[in-house]
Structure 1
């Protein structure tokens, strides 16, 4: 239910508030993997792919705005929209969310554990990963959205101050940055361009945006301007953060001809590079930013994807949209929260089975084109009121990003098999 405070607040009264569901969505989607991908792009190509980072940020603004616009215009969740497209959406979504949750749970906790183990050398990565999972589980169990949103805001602040601050201190090459604004595709970089423009900050949590709007109490078209401002500001903030990672890759690695691991370990490697260049304190500051990014992603998934699962079960059981079992803190929300936390801990202890990782890779590759293409359908048909359907600009951006996702999907599937 919408709280009394939310009911009293009008969109005009709070529309300049910067903290909202958009910041939650952006911070959740931009995690350790995206930091690594952008840093490696800077390591390999300098500033040449800066334009792709900016394009990717703009595309995410359009995609997430579309998910939010559908929710506010129709009063329905994104899964309700998918269910209108046929039973095939449920057949896909069920195995996807189960397998994705199991493997992401282990990966998300591992990322935070890696940062903590680097901050405190000699301690156990697995121990920190398990403690992170338990902490996030406890914080999200009660389903208090405002507490969750405030935590994300603090973590984004830490991410921004640490990583952007270090990027500024690295004295970036302004002429090279300006050259990077001109679209170019260096030899061998085509898939990287698509990965950065279409993939940075692109996960299932983009589809969770509408659920966070509902939890916030933004529930009808009168909140459309607020939602758009919230989304634009949030992705602008995280866009600057991602650009800062590219700057670090270009200034710390590309110019010095250094290489780091092409996975989460690469962020620890970057901390060592910073220690050699600026000293131990700067290294620790960077690791704190890494930790904030990792924990914000874990918290966001624990909350947002649990809400999606609860809505999915509610549709299967034909429960009313506001049934408490399908909302934050409800029965089905908590069931998925348990699934995200405890079974993945076994993967941390036993290792990740190769077959599960391959299946996860296939489903993960298929989700983003699924989101882009289904939004194109929902926002161009009578499933959305006419005044809130896509215009030509939104359709152009959504078509481009869906095509990029589809190409990346095919490329990943070919690589897997």
Structure 2
């Protein structure tokens, strides 16, 4: 009798252990989503969330939820297309016509030049605040070259480990600071804590917050990160969805934490910030209120956010360019399922160099205004471009019936197109 009870107890433990092992195995394979979150959270999120919190408290925190939900929808579409068809997003775009490739080439070329300088400057700023021993531009060059070296000499798995450490630092520093100071939040006026549309929050301001959370090009690069992780077919789609959800939960928590931090000591102060440079004032004021050690911890979190965004872009965007070159040389019907692009591919390395070195010149000279305006206009129209192309691709016969868009998917994509086209056209004008 005792033996039977022991055997039954042993079997029950084995079953529980199997379930736990299975759960651990599922979470252990997650990784591209961490890279996506780290890349998508950059200087834009820092500034947008901080400014919003200082002006409106947490009243617009619902806009962050909408923003990450829309980005999740688009990224899941990219991942689903990649895994259900075995083709990359560039192959999908190529099948829709040459206009998609022309748009992408112009956009990605300008992206490499302007974004390379902008994100390196943001990294340099965060480091120069902590260690003002050299000019900001020198720190920016060091970060840009460091990112280049990591991607040039490393492999995807090494890069993923580095970026996981960075996002851990970012999460603990920023979200941890917000949690520790959360009780102070409830001392704010009622209008700063009531969810809704506060006075002064225009439609286009809210739209900018929705569109500014979670990155742009990183969404398209996600399909290459899952290939680099050897997720190769439709059986990985459930894992991919869990991975993408984790990415945007992290992104949302980060933005909400920044909003609550800035709301606690900036709301109602009349102080406004402009651009990434305003983050220095933000950190100084934070230090005056809470002390130098909390300021340093938050500064480290901001640095980790910007540098992880830099190396994520340095790793992810060259995949897109290398795939563009591969598709540019072949006819649509010749583009077959193939191995993932290698980081040593000549086109991959050429664009990695384009991201790094030409943009360094812009750190020492004024950026050409016309080029900046053109980049901003094209960049604001990238998300509707992605949504429109996904609407066609995910309803095509290339995708198996079980993975094609449902009615709600199509309705959501149409909503995304309307939202981001409105935002894009406004910025363009």
**TM norm structure 2:** 0.89
The answer as to 2:318 corresponding to 1:303 is no
Kindly indicate whether the alpha-carbon contact (under 8 Å) linking 2:77 and 2:390 is maintained by their aligned counterparts in 1: yes
Matches within 5 A, 1:391-410: 391-410=406-425
Kindly indicate whether the alpha-carbon contact (under 8 Å) linking 1:372 and 1:398 is maintained by their aligned counterparts in 2: yes
The answer as to 2:253 corresponding to 1:237 is no
3-state secondary structure, aligned to 1:398: helix
**TM norm structure 1:** 0.91
3-state secondary structure, aligned to 1:15: helix
Q: By how many angstroms is 1:399 displaced?
A: 2.2
For 2:283, which of 259, 271, 278 is the aligned residue? 271
Q: Name stretches of at least 5 consecutive residues in structure 2 with no aligned partner.
A: 1-20
For 2:56, which of 45, 49, 66 is the aligned residue? 45
Moved segments of 4+, more than 6 Å: 10-13, 175-179
Kindly indicate whether the alpha-carbon contact (under 8 Å) linking 1:56 and 1:200 is maintained by their aligned counterparts in 2: yes
Kindly indicate whether the alpha-carbon contact (under 8 Å) linking 1:102 and 1:344 is maintained by their aligned counterparts in 2: yes
Quote the Cα distance in structure 2 between the aligned partners of 1:413 and 1:42.
26
**Which structure would you say has the larger Rg?**
2
Matches within 5 A, 1:277-316: 277-316=289-328
Quote the Cα distance in structure 2 between the aligned partners of 1:183 and 1:64.
27
For 1:361, which of 349, 373, 376 is the aligned residue? 376
The answer as to 2:142 corresponding to 1:146 is no
Kindly indicate whether the alpha-carbon contact (under 8 Å) linking 1:268 and 1:287 is maintained by their aligned counterparts in 2: no
Counterparts in 2 of 1:14 and 1:345: CA distance versus 1, 3 Å: same
Q: By how many angstroms is 1:262 displaced?
A: 2.1
My pick for the range that moved more, 351-360 or 387-396, is 387-396
Kindly indicate whether the alpha-carbon contact (under 8 Å) linking 1:142 and 1:329 is maintained by their aligned counterparts in 2: no
Q: By how many angstroms is 1:178 displaced?
A: 11
3-state secondary structure, aligned to 1:16: helix
Quote the Cα distance in structure 1 between the aligned partners of 2:73 and 2:186.
28
Quote the Cα distance in structure 1 between the aligned partners of 2:205 and 2:327.
38
Quote the Cα distance in structure 1 between the aligned partners of 2:191 and 2:345.
50
Aligned residue pairs: how many? 403
Q: By how many angstroms is 1:323 displaced?
A: 6.4
3-state secondary structure, aligned to 2:28: coil
Q: Which residue of 2 aligns with 1:262?
A: 274
Kindly indicate whether the alpha-carbon contact (under 8 Å) linking 2:319 and 2:348 is maintained by their aligned counterparts in 1: yes
Quote the Cα distance in structure 2 between the aligned partners of 1:342 and 1:56.
33
Residue deviations 1:357-387 (CA, integer Å, cap 9, x gap): 1111111111111011111111122232221
Q: Name stretches of at least 5 consecutive residues in structure 1 with no aligned partner.
A: 1-9
Counterparts in 2 of 1:18 and 1:218: CA distance versus 1, 3 Å: closer
Counterparts in 2 of 1:383 and 1:62: CA distance versus 1, 3 Å: same
